[in-house]
Amino acid sequence: MIKANDPQLKSWIEVASNCDFPIQNLPFGIFKTQSSSPRVGIAIGDQVLDLALLNKMGFLNNLKIDNSIFTNQYLNDFIALGKPTWRALRQRVSDLLNADNAELRDNKEAQQKVLQYISNVQLLMPIRVGDYTDFYSSIDHATNVGTMFRDPANALLPNWKHLPVGYHGRASSIIISGTNFHRPKGQTKPADAEQPVFGPTKLLDFELEVAFVIGKSSELGQSISTADADDAIFGLTLFNDWSARDIQTWEYVPLGPFLAKNFASTISPWIVTLDALEPFRTEGYKQEPKVLPYLEYSGDRNLDIRLEVSIQPENSEETGVCHSNYKYMYWTMEQQLAHHTVNGCNVNIGDLMASGTISGPTPNSFGSMLELSWRGTKPLKMKDGSERKFVNDNDTVIMRGYCQKDNVRVGFGEAKAKVLPAL
């Protein structure tokens, strides 16, 4: 049996070299067609494999998974079966899609039933998110923001290198890629005004992030160590934590962001498993001063995920504005989860934990318009000749991410949304 991550694997389904979903990926999502209810699928090339029908037709009999798991609106019940089951299913699907395996390759009747082109289906929210936490773990982003709003010589607050800073966000407004939303409204206080005013945000921003999905619940009072964290993580997804900077500036003292963040967060529809990402582990930052014992970890825990952001004005082509990488994270996801639970906070399957804005060391790798335009002082030129200091009405923001190694590209698809005028 050839392992699912083997770079030599080829599928009998044609997969373009620049496609995010080769046989080495096999990410999970939820989809429906005009004639079917929501169900669990796996992306391969430009198609989606219907696991409910695949199971019903007997191709997954060895796994003994009840078909109700696959005819579900969310992945949560499947995730609850545990990591050995995730791995066994991904391996079985890899075997079925292997170019050397005739089981499904030569069964044209079965193929017509279990495979749909992604362009012909509707992709849905893949998980039921109970709780969502947003971290602040990119040292370049934190330094940039601290430099802008405080003393550049003391850009990082005293606690920043001692713990992964985070806050609890709003789960109800997490939306699937392709869902448009209206510009949020709230209170702002112009610099030359004595009193706040109410109205639409003038400084709407994106935040380039990656989020991980909790795959194993914990009990109240239980902590998850950095060594055990990977067993509690199902996979990763792209995440755009939209932000209203002017609302945030007025409201965030003393308890942090509220209306500036809770109006919308966009995720990509596919969850890429941690197993699929394992070949792309890379060395992270050297953490100084030395962290407390519960935050220590061994090995390479960062991930080399190339990240891109584009802005597409209405009726125009998109313009790339950011090229960053998840490897620029100072705090790893294992440290984030360990810190989140060290006080006994319990986590549940489907909970989302986002990285915080991911900025690199160069100006073109900054992960927000706040940094890219440096608070609006350096507007970005679009291909249509217009300029952007922040995100305009009717702009579509598109995030993409992928790993590349040994001629294998493992990607996430897109996280995109269009900003509609305020109601």
Q: Yes or no: say if 210 and 357 are a contact pair by the CB < 8 Å rule.
A: no
The domain in which residue 92 lies consists of 28-124
Same domain, residue pair 98 and 212: no
Tell me, yes or no, whether 243 lies in a domain.
yes
Task: Report the CATH number at residue 331.
Answer: 3.90.850.10
Tell me, yes or no, whether 209 lies in a domain.
yes
Same domain, residue pair 151 and 204: yes
* Rounded Cα–Cα distance for residues 105 and 285 (Å): 45
* Rounded Cα–Cα distance for residues 83 and 281 (Å): 19
* Rounded Cα–Cα distance for residues 88 and 95 (Å): 10
Q: Does the pLDDT at position 171 exceed 80?
A: yes
- Over residues 272-299, the mean pLDDT reads 97
Tell me, yes or no, whether 2 lies in a domain.
no
Answer with the one of 124, 146, 163 that is the final residue of a domain: 124
Q: Yes or no: say if 46 and 118 are a contact pair by the CB < 8 Å rule.
A: yes
193 pLDDT band (50/70/90 cuts)? very high
Same domain, residue pair 216 and 365: yes
Distance of CA 144 to the CA centre of its chain: 22
Q: Does the pLDDT at position 1 exceed 80?
A: no
Tell me, yes or no, whether 6 lies in a domain.
no
Q: What is the tens place of the pLDDT at every residue in 358-381? A: 999 999 999 999 999 999 999 999
Same domain, residue pair 104 and 182: no
344 pLDDT band (50/70/90 cuts)? very high
Q: What is the tens place of the pLDDT at every residue in 43-90? A: 999 999 999 999 999 999 999 999 999 999 999 999 999 999 999 999
Tell me, yes or no, whether 331 lies in a domain.
yes
Tell me, yes or no, whether 18 lies in a domain.
no
Same domain, residue pair 174 and 76: no
Q: Does residue 141 carry a catalytic annotation? A: yes
- Over residues 292-307, the mean pLDDT reads 98
Closest of 267, 311, 269 to residue 419, by C-alpha: 311
Task: Please give the tally of structural domains in the chain.
Answer: 2
The token pair at 404 is: 């590349």
CB hemisphere CA count around 273 (13 angstroms): 26
Answer with the one of 103, 124, 145 that is the final residue of a domain: 124
Same domain, residue pair 205 and 330: yes
Same domain, residue pair 105 and 177: no
Share of the chain above pLDDT 70, in %: 100
Same domain, residue pair 201 and 231: yes
Closest of 235, 212, 239 to residue 332, by C-alpha: 212
Q: Which of 141, 162, 168, 340 is catalytic?
A: 141
Same domain, residue pair 69 and 217: no
Same domain, residue pair 95 and 137: no
Tell me, yes or no, whether 23 lies in a domain.
no
Task: Output 52-58 pairs: Cβ under 8 A, ≥24 positions apart.
Answer: 53/113, 53/114, 54/93, 54/96, 54/114, 57/110, 57/113, 57/114
Task: Report the CATH number at residue 90.
Answer: 2.30.30.230
Q: Does the pLDDT at position 241 exceed 80?
A: yes
Answer with the one of 67, 98, 124 that is the final residue of a domain: 124
* Rounded Cα–Cα distance for residues 50 and 117 (Å): 11
151 pLDDT band (50/70/90 cuts)? confident
Same domain, residue pair 210 and 267: yes
Strand partners, 403: 410
Closest of 205, 166, 140, 146 to residue 333, by C-alpha: 166
For residue 245, the model assigns a pLDDT of 97
* Rounded Cα–Cα distance for residues 201 and 184 (Å): 6
CA distance readout (Å), 25 to 178, 231, 413? 22, 19, 12
For residue 278, the model assigns a pLDDT of 98
- Over residues 193-222, the mean pLDDT reads 98
Same domain, residue pair 150 and 91: no
Q: What is the tens place of the pLDDT at every residue in 89-101? A: 999 999 999 999 9
Average pLDDT for the chain: 97
- Over residues 117-145, the mean pLDDT reads 98
Q: Yes or no: say if 330 and 138 are a contact pair by the CB < 8 Å rule.
A: yes
Tell me, yes or no, whether 20 lies in a domain.
no
- Over residues 341-351, the mean pLDDT reads 98
The residue with greater pLDDT, 260 or 152, is 260
The token pair at 168 is: 């609890």
Q: Does the pLDDT at position 149 exceed 90?
A: no
Q: What is the tens place of the pLDDT at every residue in 215-239? A: 999 999 999 999 999 999 999 999 9
First-last CA distance in the chain:
56
